[in-house]
Structure 1
Amino acid sequence: MRIQQLSELLEYVANCRLGMSKLYKRLHRNADSSRVKLMLEYFQQHEQHIYDTLESYIEDAPAKILDTWYQDVVFEDFLKRCDETSLPANMDEEQLLELHLDLENRLIALLEKTAELTSSNDAKSALLDVIRVAQTQQKRLVHSVLRMDDI
């Protein structure tokens, strides 16, 4: 995937979040463990929430920031990765969390790479805010999953 404008990047990341939600829905159908199914439902809701938040951000962000142009920002076909990812029916919570963190960290790395290439201070600041929020949400998600272990 080649990204040329910040608006394209944010739309792509939002769509990747939907791809993750679909992956978790598919894994839910095959999972044996009720605890894993519970985590998958939580992850689905989490990804849908992030998608909705990003879409709202894109609608409200100034065109000046969204129209920032980039050269040579290339990223893997993340949606294909989600479509081709599978875990065994007997997956455990740790395997699922590892998968989630791997996928999420790939998206955060894309945002960080793009922020490094950004010359506009406003666009860079906006990207750094998105990264900060993503990292904060990731920490909260991990804490929530760890609390599930205590139940």
Structure 2
Amino acid sequence: MQVETLKDVLVWTREFHRNLSDCLHHCALNNENSRAKMLLDYLARHEQELSQIVSGFVETAETRALNTWCYDYMEKHPILHSAHCDAPFQDLQPDEIMGVITDQHEQVIDLYRYLHARADIEATRELMEELESLEEQAARQMSQGANRMQEM
């Protein structure tokens, strides 16, 4: 996907979360560890919810913010790809799964932070703040949920 504007970033993020959800769900079916299966299902649901929330931003964000150009970041910092399930979650233990998920979310958060720092208009800064906050809260919530599952 060619990412040039913030709208493209949001569409990419929506698809990233959707594809990650599908991958986690698929891998849950094949993981032999019962805790890992539960964790993968839990994470898949959260990723699907994030996809839907980001989709809402695509529909409701201010047009000026969505049309902001941001291709320079993508050229200098290639970010993770979401086109296929390249992480073998079915072979990972819960700690390893959370490590991969946390890393992937950190890459998205770093993207939002960078775009926020480069934003020229207030609407763009506000949008990036909201998205960064959303990703941080989601990552925290998933991590806390995973920790609670480990305690069971």
TM-score by length of structure 2 reads 0.88
Unaligned runs of 5+ in 1: none
| Aligned counterpart, 2:128 | 127
Question: Following the alignment from structure 1 to structure 2, what is the Cα–Cα distance between the partners of residues 2 and 120?
Answer: 23
Question: Following the alignment from structure 1 to structure 2, what is the Cα–Cα distance between the partners of residues 22 and 42?
Answer: 12
Deviates more, 1:25-34 or 1:49-58: 25-34
| Aligned counterpart, 2:87 | 85
1:76 pairs with one of 75, 79, 82: 79
How much has 1:77 moved relative to structure 2? 5.0
What amino acid is aligned across from residue 55 of structure 2 in structure 1? E
Question: Following the alignment from structure 1 to structure 2, what is the Cα–Cα distance between the partners of residues 15 and 61?
Answer: 17
Kept in 1: contact 2:79–2:107 (CA 8 A): no
How much has 1:108 moved relative to structure 2? 1.3
State how many pairs are aligned: 149
How much has 1:3 moved relative to structure 2? 2.4
% same residue? 16
Greater share of strand: 1
How much has 1:76 moved relative to structure 2? 3.1
Question: Following the alignment from structure 2 to structure 1, what is the Cα–Cα distance between the partners of residues 38 and 72?
Answer: 40
Please show how residues 88-107 of structure 1 align to structure 2 within 5 Å: 89=91, 91-107=92-108
How much has 1:94 moved relative to structure 2? 0.4
Question: Following the alignment from structure 1 to structure 2, what is the Cα–Cα distance between the partners of residues 87 and 42?
Answer: 13
Following TM superposition, the consecutive aligned residue runs of length 4 or more in structure 1 with deviations greater than 3 angstroms are none
